[in-house]
Amino acid sequence: MPRRSSPPAVVDLTFDIRPGEVTGLLGPAGSGKSTAVRLLLGLQAGRGATLVDGRPLHELDRPARAIGAVLGDVPGHPRRTARGHLRMLCAAHGLRVARADDLLETVGLDAVADRRLGTYSLGMDRRLAFAVALLPDPHTLVIDDPARELPPREAAWVHALVRRHAAAGGAVLLTGRDPGALARTADRVVALADGRVVADQSAAVFAGTRLRPHVAVRSPYAERLAGLLAEDGAEVVATSGSRIAVYGATSAAVGEVAHRHGILLHQLADESAAARSEDADPDTDHDEAKPRRAARNRPSPLRRPHNPLHPVRYELRRCFGVRTPWPTVAAALVASTVGALLLARTGAVHASPLRLLSGWPAALPLPAAAVGAGALGALAYGQEFAFPALTAGFGPEPRAPRLLAAKLAVSGALALVLAALAALVDTAVLRLALGSGRAPDPMALSATTAGWAALAVGCAWTGVLAACAFRTTALGLSAVLSVPLVVAPGVRTLLGGRTGRQFLDAGGALWSVLSGASRADDRAALAALHSAAQPLFVAMALSLSGLVTAYLAGALRGRRRGRRPTPARSGGAVGIDNEEG
């Protein structure tokens, strides 16, 4: 879709990706190849449609089972292992764990599967990208310039894998900039220029009519050799730092020049124009294709989210697949212990039970364990967006309701465990410092214990929802800290002491009428009401309500965008056939 006065990146692009064939999408930098691939997968807004067996891609229940994509390097957490990354995605796609091990062996990474992704070379990372794309066993592969910057051996492996997938009956879309390499690998070539199709031909016809024969040379002294050949009248084009293409000369002549001047050659080969046999289909007549194209151009209707099949299992593998949670928990417990010691030295007998139980000095806005729970919650979505293993719009959605519920459940459970550990440690420290008679008893203070647990879970959920809304861990944790620093003072000013007392009196009267409980139960209920009426708890409830409302508003806004009709003047269609006929 065009922005302001700039022309659209892709205009009226229509082609088919057929089973058993490799379709090459060729063009120089800026021709629209990557944009076309992102439009095809629904990762970028635009006009047109991607049809799989005649059905729009977004209508498929499991689009990742139909199309696997390799769009560059794997955006995985650098401290996660390749095995852990694939097993995490197995949970997202509802696959058995053994599938990850099978793919690691297929792409040749089984020997380094337990190494961290941050230590991988470019070739190893590209192999892992293929493993991620092949994990759901898709019929079609969409690959954006996979051999870019790879050494010749790794590039040959990529093209061999692509040919094997097509030979097994799969369909492949492969983009690239090198006409010769793409013509040798692909069965059909779709050439782009300025976002428009300039050729849609079989590879043999494309090579015979559009490629010039030349000599391919690779040398560490390619620049010097290029200057010598240019002086002899040859046309030399640099294809990379150590590669040149020589037109108007034979390989023998190039070899003689290199020998005379003592230049080392790593490759010297004649590149023929006829890369394949001439059993080719005739060129596609784009004028005749216009009626079909116009019929297939239509606005995309509502896109349905594709939820992970096992969101809790996915979230557990995501959370514990790296070491980040453990230092966070350890730091929170150490800080909570220090807080309990400070309370003991400054006269803890006058502190509230909640502050004693949570190791919460008056100088801190929140207990250390509550901040730790908020950090764990913020990491749940902060890492999701910093290292996007799930792709928004194609495959499992990172903001799907089921995944959000799983993250809330896991972060809430971690917050309860952290709160319990902090309470036990703080109680033990206070008993050692003050004696058993003056230290709090978590079992006897049921309302205080419940309030402490609710505070920890509320901080964790605030971190999850804020990081989901703002897409970063830092802003998620900032939202947690803003509750006592910003929202709570506002609540205190708004309610005031008189309103809080009225709330407590009304709650106590309602409890007495409805329960008919004993005095012990009354005392526990009144203590719980007293905790709930505190500005911090009211501020936490308001913050959670606001974040949930923001999440629902974002979801509804996305649905309205999906329903909005768009004209199809400059759109296109990509057809993917999974079956012959």
Residue 254 belongs to domain with CATH number:
3.30.70
Q: Which pLDDT value is given to residue 78?
A: 93
Q: Is residue 441 part of a domain?
A: yes
Which of residues 112, 135, 158 is at a domain's end?
Answer: 135
Q: Is residue 281 part of a domain?
A: no
One-letter amino acid of 508: G
Which of 161, 211, 209, 208 lies closest to 185, judged by CA? 161
Q: Which pLDDT value is given to residue 500?
A: 52
H helix count then E strand count, the chain? 21, 14
User: Based on the domain organization, do 25 and 53 belong to the same domain?
Assistant: yes
User: Based on the domain organization, do 18 and 154 belong to the same domain?
Assistant: yes
Task: Find all residues with CB under 8 Å of 466, minimum gap 6, and list them.
Answer: 378, 475, 476, 478, 479, 480, 547
pLDDT tens for the 581 residues of the chain, in order: 556 677 778 888 899 999 999 999 998 888 889 889 998 888 887 888 888 888 888 788 888 889 999 988 888 899 999 999 999 999 999 999 999 999 999 999 999 999 999 999 999 999 999 999 999 999 999 999 888 888 888 888 998 999 999 999 999 999 988 888 888 889 999 999 888 888 888 888 887 777 778 888 999 999 899 889 988 888 887 766 788 888 888 899 999 999 999 999 999 988 765 433 333 333 444 333 333 333 333 344 444 557 888 999 999 999 999 999 999 999 999 999 999 888 888 765 567 788 888 888 888 889 999 999 999 999 999 999 999 998 877 788 898 899 999 999 999 999 999 999 999 998 888 888 777 766 777 766 677 888 899 999 999 999 999 999 999 999 999 999 999 888 888 877 776 655 555 554 544 444 444 454 444 445 554 455 455 556 788 888 889 999 999 888 877 765 554 444 333 334 566 777 665 43
Task: Find all residues with CB under 8 Å of 133, minimum gap 6, and list them.
Answer: 68, 69, 70, 141, 143
Interhelix angle 473-482/535-563, rounded to 10 degrees, is 140
* Tens of pLDDT, residues 160-215: 999 999 999 999 999 988 888 888 889 999 999 888 888 888 888 887 777 778 88
Task: Find all residues with CB under 8 Å of 3, minimum gap 6, and list them.
Answer: none
Q: How many domains does the chain have?
A: 4
User: Based on the domain organization, do 472 and 502 belong to the same domain?
Assistant: yes
Q: Is residue 68 part of a domain?
A: no
User: Based on the domain organization, do 242 and 350 belong to the same domain?
Assistant: no
User: Based on the domain organization, do 259 and 380 belong to the same domain?
Assistant: no
Task: Report the half-sphere exposure of 338 (CA within 13 A, side-chain side).
Answer: 11
Q: Which pLDDT value is given to residue 565?
A: 39
**CA–CA separation, 249 and 158 (whole Å):** 30
CA distances from 256 to 262, 268, 569 (A): 10, 11, 56
Q: Which pLDDT value is given to residue 25?
A: 93
**CA–CA separation, 213 and 270 (whole Å):** 7
- φ, ψ for residue 19, nearest 5 deg: -65, 145
Question: Of how many residues is the chain composed?
Answer: 581
pTM of the model: 0.78
* Tens of pLDDT, residues 450-474: 889 999 999 999 999 999 999 999 9
One-letter amino acid of 378: A
Using DSSP's 3-state secondary structure scheme, residue 487 falls into: helix
- φ, ψ for residue 332, nearest 5 deg: -65, -40
User: Based on the domain organization, do 453 and 345 belong to the same domain?
Assistant: yes
User: Based on the domain organization, do 185 and 265 belong to the same domain?
Assistant: no
End-to-end CA distance of the chain: 33
User: Based on the domain organization, do 375 and 500 belong to the same domain?
Assistant: yes
User: Based on the domain organization, do 534 and 389 belong to the same domain?
Assistant: yes
CATH number of residue 174's parent domain: 3.40.50.300
* Tens of pLDDT, residues 13-43: 899 999 999 999 998 888 889 889 998 888 8
Q: Which pLDDT value is given to residue 577?
A: 67
User: Based on the domain organization, do 226 and 191 belong to the same domain?
Assistant: no
| 131-144 core/surface letters (b: 16 or more CB in 10 A; e: else) | bbbbbbebbbbbbb
Strand 140-143 to strand 67-70: parallel, antiparallel, or no bridges (unpaired)? parallel
Q: Is residue 278 part of a domain?
A: no
Residue numbers of the domain that contains 125? 75-135
User: Do residues 573 and 49 lie in contact, with contact meaning Cβ atoms separated by under 8 Å?
Assistant: yes
Residue 211: both structure tokens together: 């490629």
Q: Is residue 542 part of a domain?
A: yes
User: Based on the domain organization, do 319 and 406 belong to the same domain?
Assistant: yes
Q: Is residue 111 part of a domain?
A: yes
Q: Which pLDDT value is given to residue 69?
A: 92
User: Do residues 240 and 226 lie in contact, with contact meaning Cβ atoms separated by under 8 Å?
Assistant: no
Q: Which pLDDT value is given to residue 581?
A: 31
User: Based on the domain organization, do 245 and 371 belong to the same domain?
Assistant: no
Task: Find all residues with CB under 8 Å of 497, minimum gap 6, and list them.
Answer: none
Q: Is residue 448 part of a domain?
A: yes
